[in-house]
Amino acid sequence: MTPSSDVRAHRAEGAGIGVERQTVSRRAILRKALALSGCSLFSSVLAAAAYAQDAGSGPAIAALPVRTGPRPGAWVVLLGTRGGPGLEVNRAQTASAVVVDGQPYLIDCGYGALRQMVASNVGYLQTSTIFFTHLHDDHTGDLAALLSYQWTNGKTSATDAYGPYGTARMVAAAVDFFRANVEIRTADEGRTVDVDKQFHGHDVAAADAPVPMFRDERVNVTGIENTHYPARSKANMPHRSLALRVDTEDRSIVFAGDTAYSSNVVKLARGADLFVCEVVDPTVLQQAQERAKEAAAAGNPNNIFRHVADTHCSPQDVARMAAEAGVKTVVLNHQVAAPSQGTIAYPATAFIQGMRPTFGGEVIVGQDLMVL
Ligand SMILES: [Zn+2]
Ligand SMILES: [Zn+2]
């Protein structure tokens, strides 16, 4: 099998997971994730765990080839698919990695992202480029932990983060958060890496046309402003929210970020292979609209319910953007479902049906650690 046919075979396998079976075995995800990178500190531990699980499943799985190098091509790892600032043990907050020829690029870094990088074998020490769609804490919560453990656990090269207004200040503040640790270990352990020269944040302009954000030999990343922040809020703050497009040699992947329907996102996503988009259960949106009216009547017009109702996507909104942009595959992340529906059994079928018939293409309801 040639390297390229190997890639196609595995990609087809990965892309079929969320469509045909909405529950994915943890072992299958882990096995796929293990193949992404051969360089994590934890790969041997996880490999041992995976093969221990496989051993109980029969001889066919025990014959899996051992991969020693990075898998070629571009892959998306859904590190966290939970939408919003709530916390739970079964899902991490929003974060994804695009891994290109074994080199990871991180998109958002919500709470749990670092642990999921370890679990999925996306090397956190090899991650040198981070992108933020926006600076809500369900997209940034693990940044200080990630940078701190990069420094402590031996990364010596630079890490750069790119995002909307406030990113540079946030990275500097994250470094300040663990400065005591740096001072202690520098004095006590003879550390020599200068933390202020290692970590850098970059503010990127938000516009109604794609803005170049980053380019290297593997990826070309552009951003465009989405509709997560309404005009009434933007009038009172400099903060903006972005959708991101990552183009690699073999794939184009768009992360819509948190957003309501956005013609800019459609523009950015035109013809993309993968359209990774947030989604909110319509029941939650309806409840939010009702509670927003109640809160406004009680004298608080800018309440969180109005935020949820006005600045996020129903399945129909996702479908409309996907259809207008002509994307091949939609991947739902940042999923918000009604509490009564529990924290594990998300309404995968409802999300997919809510997108029909507007979008007739492939829909994958993302799960944590899924590899696409
Ligand atoms: Zn969010
Ligand atoms: Zn947000």
Instruction: For 249-308, give the DSSP string.
Output: SS-EEEE--S-SS-HHHHHHHTT-SEEEEEEE-HHHHHHHHHHHHHHHHTT-SS-HHHHH
CA 146 to ligand 1 centroid distance, Å:
19
Q: For residue 225, list its beta bridge partners.
A: 242
Ligand lying nearest the CA atom of residue 108: 1
- Structure tokens belonging to residue 103: 């080199």
The whole-number average pLDDT for the span 70-79 is 90
CA distance 133 to 258: 8
Answer whether residue 18 shows pLDDT above 60: no
363 CA → ligand 1 middle, Å: 20
Task: Please say whether the beta carbons of 111 and 87 come within 8 A.
Answer: yes
**CA of 312 relative to ligand 2 center, distance in Å:** 8
Is the confidence at residue 171, as pLDDT, over 90?
yes
At 315, the amino acid letter reads P
CA 264 remoteness from chain centre: 20
| pLDDT for residue 10 | 37
Q: Give distance in angstroms: CA of 360 to centre of ligand 2.
A: 27
User: CB of 70 within 8 A of CB of 102?
Assistant: yes
Alpha-carbon gap, residue 241 to 224, rounded angstroms: 8
pLDDT band of residue 69 (cuts 50, 70, 90) is low
pLDDT at 9: 33
CA distance 20 to 257: 26
Find the ligand nearest to 94 CA.
Answer: 1
- Which of 119, 48, 110 has the alpha carbon at shortest distance from 85? 110
Evaluate if residue 24 carries a pLDDT over 80.
Answer: no
Least confident interval from 62-71, 77-86, 283-292, 337-346:
62-71
- If you average pLDDT over residues 198-204, what whole number do you get? 98
Kindly give the distance from the C-alpha atom of residue 278 to the centroid of ligand 1, in angstroms, as a whole number.
8
Tally of helices (H runs) and strands (E runs) in the chain: 15, 13
DSSP for residue 24: -
pLDDT digit string, tens, across residues 131-160: 999 999 999 999 999 999 999 999 999 999
d(CA 127, CA 147): 10
Q: Are 147 and 178 in contact (CB under 8 A)?
A: yes
- Write down the residue that tokens 């939609």 correspond to: 330
- The CA distance from 166 to 348, in Å, is 35
Percentage with pLDDT > 70 across the chain: 79
Rounded to whole angstroms, the Cα distance separating 287 from 282 reads 9
Least reliable range by pLDDT among 52-61, 120-129, 211-220, 257-266? 52-61
Q: Percent of the chain, pLDDT > 90?
A: 69
pLDDT of residue 178: 98
Adjacent-strand bridge partners of 253 = 246, 274
Instruction: Give Cα 59 distance to the centre of its chain.
Output: 35
Distance from the alpha carbon of residue 300 to the mean position of ligand 2, in angstroms: 20
d(CA 225, CA 98): 21
Report how far ligand 1's centroid is from the alpha carbon of 136 (Å). 6
* Tokens, residue 145: 């932990």
Mean pLDDT of 245-267: 98
Domains for the chain: give ranges and CATH numbers.
5-371 (3.60.15.10)
> DSSP secondary structure string, 303-359?
-HHHHHHHSS--HHHHHHHHHHHT-SEEEEEEEE--GGG-SS---HHHHHHHHTTT-
Token pair in block for residue 275:
């359209």
Coarse DSSP helix, strand, coil percentages of the chain, rounded to the nearest 5 percent: 40, 20, 40
pLDDT in tens, 203-248: 999 999 999 999 999 999 999 999 999 999 999 999 999 999 999 9
**In this predicted structure, what is the pLDDT of residue 243?**
98
- Give the whole-angstrom CA distance, residue 155 versus residue 193: 9
In the numeric block, the tokens 């794609």 are attached to: 210
Closest listed ligand to the CA of 93: 1
Question: What pLDDT, on a 0 to 100 scale, did the predictor assign at position 76?
Answer: 96
- Asked if the peptide bond before residue 210 counts as cis, ω within 30 degrees of 0, the response is no
Q: For residues 146 and 170, is the Cβ–Cβ distance under 8 A?
A: no
pLDDT in tens, 275-293: 999 999 888 888 888 999 9
Instruction: Quickly tell me which residue has 């500097």 as its tokens.
Output: 172
Assign 6 a pLDDT band (cuts: 50, 70, 90).
very low
CA of 133 to the centre of ligand 2 (A): 9
Pairwise pLDDT comparison (252 vs 336), residue with the higher score: 252
117's CB contacts (< 8 A; 6+ apart) are 79, 97, 104, 106, 123, 124, 127, 146
Burial group, residue 172, by CB count within 10 angstroms (0-12, 13-18, 19+): middle
Distance 366 CA to ligand 1 centre (A): 15
